[in-house]
Structure 1
Amino acid sequence: MPTIITNSSNGAHPHELILIGGGHTHVLLLRKLSKNPLRGVRMTMVSDFECAAYSGMLPGHISGFYQQAELLIDLRHLCRLANVQFIHAKACGMNLKQKQVLLDGSAEPLAADLVSINVGGISCTEGVEGAKSWAIPAKPVPCLLKGWASTMAAARNSTGRLQIILVGGGAGGVELALAMRSRLAHAEFTIIHSEPCLLPGHNSRARHIVHNLLLERNVAAITEAKVVEVMPDSVRLDDGQLLAADFVFWVTQAVPPAWLGESGLDITREGFIRVKPTLQAINHPWIFAAGDAASIENRKLPRSGVFAVRMAKPLEHNLRAYLAGRLLKDYKPQRHSLSLIGTADGRAIASYSDLAARSAFFWWLKNWIDQRFMRQFQ
């Protein structure tokens, strides 16, 4: 049964606002609302996790730089501060005609005048035989943390060299590989990536730095290859090659939960909610979406926490404007964003537009940014 925390409040509540998911946009929204509440609105957050993990600090935790508690945001506490009801349950759908949010189990549907969706993606293993049984998904984060704990335990008890494979060579996969390597010096690491080069979406200088760093750390990379089968002790590639594997981490691009499309929302081919620049769902102006769940029409944005964080301010403005019957504003993302990739050695790679470099200063900067973000919720 879902666990519900309610906060007392006097007066009528003519509007019901439901926040689905505890992603980066929503936690910042709650922080803003704790300082400047919405009047005449009863708010509810639905999340299947009681704590939200800040993804920016995850590789730092894997490498031993942060304790697990340092990257977790207590959603219950945050909801109390913002006078928001918290329901610990998994959203599984929406009834668009009746304006209801459906929950797993026997819980009653939640009536809503207004909905905001900021659910995290899940690692997509569809079409890969054995992946759901044997691969460790990078998302949701609790699955990754549990899998990493099992890997560390196996390394302590093993007399041989563990074979560890990471499927996905984007920034997330590379950063995780370097973080894991820093803790398991005697394991064998291989990154398998379907595209011609690692770090797609980054400039050639950043890719060159990563290429040399992986060689230096003895992390193998196989590009233009796909894993088509995962077995208890190996993986099979699309060219028939078998690779030994004690642990397989699935770090490919995450996809939204299937219920978004199944509910009748307009979605992209990949399953993201199609939204206007105001962050309103196409054809459903009472539904907003942000972060990894959303795809803004005619704008291709990287799936990055940087953009999710910066959506909080326009989302807050537009929720207030919608409720007050005022004009909404478009979210205008920055043209370029700074990407900081930790290298698990007290340094980080900074990638911006056509520029890239690696230094201790960039790790200091990344740590300062991440710590500043988390201090808002402590």
Structure 2
Amino acid sequence: MILIGGGHTHVLLLRKLCKNPLHDVCMTMVSDFECAAYSGMLPGHISGFYQQAALLINLRHLCKLANVQFIHAKVRGMNLKQKQVLLDSGAAPLAADLVSINVGGIPDMDNVEGAKSWAIPAKPVPRLLEGWASTLAAAENSTGQLQIILAGGGAGGVELALAMRSRLQHAEFTIIHSGARLLPEHNSCAQHIARNLLLERNVVVITEAKVVEVMPQSVRLDDGRRLASDFVFWVTQVAPPGWLGESGLDITREGFIRVKPTLQAINYPWIFAAGDAASIESQKLPKSGVFAVRMAKPLEYNLRACLGGSLLKDYKPQRHSLSLIGTADGRAIASYSRWAAHSAFFWWLKNQIDRRFMRQFQ
């Protein structure tokens, strides 16, 4: 069995296998990162609340505890006919009777001129942390105000903007969002709270606009405006790795793997997918860690069932989920269905949930 990627679903799967291993099964995890970053604590690290080590999960060590071989390499594709996983390092293909894919998406930058050269993607996390370190260094050495632009006004963009603002009081921040409202996947109350907070902290918000070109010291919007920029952070909707579709897997228009409610790929029952990489038929789920962590239990059950020849069960996502968005001031926005609030209690709750999640891997 091959596990591709060290996303939230797979790290929880490995944690379960530490307690209840799969006997007589040779398992291998392939990941291009030796440490997986827990995204829930990333803004807290940016704002200075957490040390970097607090949000990292050592995949190699976790695999050792679960009796799973770890290969530090990048997957470049699959040979579906021969049931092989192809590696970018030139290593021999890995034979696979069963595959589970849990690779994180990255912000879509392909159609924006200069974005890949000059913008800093929010994912993968190591790229973001490198870009943030460069930003802090530039702020220390600059005599003027840095111009920082964030492309994307979803929960990730808003939370990052607030976290960065808390560290760089003298920089100028601008969020550029293609929609009419920030936090498009949240209710109007949460949107109102976020907009007011950004206003209070002098973060400029430009809605119904897109960045169409990124240059070394500026960006160009689709309405012709040019904005000065020292650093551009790309926090738009994620796009999956291109090799998923190139391998011949059934994918959505956006490039995500089409899977059944059992998390099996359409037409390929020996391939499973979870987290950002998966798009479950007849279910429209946001690309959120809240759902990825809930997929670990049904994924484990169905992998065991598949190996044992038993019936598989459907993954049934919760109808509503509680979202907690840190605001870098000892408070957080809580959003659930049509309800939202902002208080110190919700930051306490978020911190408790995040630390409890990470304690499983310490």
Residue of structure 2 in register with 1:223 after alignment: 207
How does 1:276-287 map onto structure 2 within 5 Å?
Answer: 276-287=260-271
Residue of structure 2 in register with 1:344 after alignment: 328
Q: Gapped runs of 5+ residues in structure 2?
A: none
Q: Which whole-Å deviations, capped at 9, do the CAs of 1:89-114 have from their partners, x for residues lacking one? A: 00110000000000002200000000
What secondary structure is seen at the aligned counterpart in 1 of 2:214? Answer: strand
Structure 1 position 310 matched with structure 2 position 294:
yes
Q: Distance in 2 between matches of 1:216 and 1:344?
A: 13
Match of 1:368 among 352, 356, 360: 352
| Structure 1 residue 358, shift from structure 2 partner | 0.3
How does 1:1-150 map onto structure 2 within 5 Å?
Answer: 17-150=1-134
TM-score by length of 1: 0.96
Structure 1 position 266 matched with structure 2 position 266:
no
| Structure 1 residue 225, shift from structure 2 partner | 0.2
Q: Distance in 1 between matches of 2:57 and 2:132?
A: 20
How does 1:188-267 map onto structure 2 within 5 Å?
Answer: 188-267=172-251
| Structure 1 residue 201, shift from structure 2 partner | 1.0
Q: Which amino acid aligns with 2:39?
A: S
Q: Which amino acid aligns with 2:234?
A: W
| Structure 1 residue 221, shift from structure 2 partner | 0.4
Q: Distance in 2 between matches of 1:122 and 1:95?
A: 23
Q: Distance in 2 between matches of 1:61 and 1:105?
A: 32
| Structure 1 residue 281, shift from structure 2 partner | 0.1
Q: Distance in 1 between matches of 2:259 and 2:97?
A: 18
Q: Distance in 2 between matches of 1:90 and 1:106?
A: 10
Q: Distance in 2 between matches of 1:55 and 1:321?
A: 30
What secondary structure is seen at the aligned counterpart in 2 of 1:189? Answer: strand
What secondary structure is seen at the aligned counterpart in 2 of 1:49? Answer: coil
| Structure 1 residue 284, shift from structure 2 partner | 0.1
Q: Distance in 2 between matches of 1:134 and 1:212?
A: 30
Q: Gapped runs of 5+ residues in structure 1?
A: 1-16
Q: Which amino acid aligns with 2:161?
A: A
Q: Which whole-Å deviations, capped at 9, do the CAs of 1:135-176 have from their partners, x for residues lacking one? A: 000011100000000000000000000000000000000000
Match of 1:174 among 158, 165, 169: 158
Q: Which amino acid aligns with 1:257?
A: P
Q: Distance in 2 between matches of 1:146 and 1:211?
A: 28
Identity %: 85
| Structure 1 residue 40, shift from structure 2 partner | 1.2
- Computed over aligned residues only, the root mean square deviation of the Cα atoms, in angstroms, reads 0.4
What secondary structure is seen at the aligned counterpart in 2 of 1:160? Answer: coil
What secondary structure is seen at the aligned counterpart in 2 of 1:41? Answer: coil
| Structure 1 residue 183, shift from structure 2 partner | 0.1
Q: Which amino acid aligns with 2:91?
A: A
Q: Which whole-Å deviations, capped at 9, do the CAs of 1:210-246 have from their partners, x for residues lacking one? A: 1110110000000000101000000000011000000
Q: Distance in 1 between matches of 2:111 and 2:194?
A: 30
Q: Distance in 1 between matches of 2:247 and 2:287?
A: 23
Q: Distance in 1 between matches of 2:195 and 2:258?
A: 36
